[in-house]
Amino acid sequence: DAGVIQSPRHEVTEMGQEVTLRCKPISGHDYLFWYRQTMMRGLELLIYFNNNVPIDDSGMPEDRFSAKMPNASFSTLKIQPSEPRDSAVYFCASSPDRGWSEQYFGPGTRLTVT
């Protein structure tokens, strides 16, 4: 399998612009997770889906963030409007089973908001 695919790998945008990050999970995996990694806060879970349904979005920082999973092979994380403090590496991960199963991470999207 190709592994978890994320695009773009790097994104530089200006404050106020809309940003869309994309993720293709591993085929057959029922769980999809979005994380944000910064030096200050480490690795934070933003939201996760089970069978395309959002289960827990308590980690989403504010209403500017939204995530969707229209089908089993695609998910998006959108930030609108973006702010400089959103600069981070955003990871998507998928898992074949519940919490006891290992998660497979994508390469991440490095977002810079100027």
Q: List Cα–Cα distances, 106 to 15, 70, 75, 84, 114, in angstroms.
A: 26, 19, 13, 23, 25
- Asked if residues 54 and 67 have their Cβ atoms less than 8 Å apart, the reply is yes
Q: Which stretch binds another protein (CB under 8 A): 19-27, 37-45, 60-68, 78-86?
A: 37-45
How many residues interact with another protein (rule CB under 8 A)?
Answer: 24
Least distance between another protein and beta carbon 20 (Å): 20
31 scored as a contact of another protein (CB under 8 A): yes
Q: Which stretch binds another protein (CB under 8 A): 20-28, 47-55, 61-69, 70-78?
A: 47-55
Radius of gyration over alpha carbons of the chain, in Å? 13
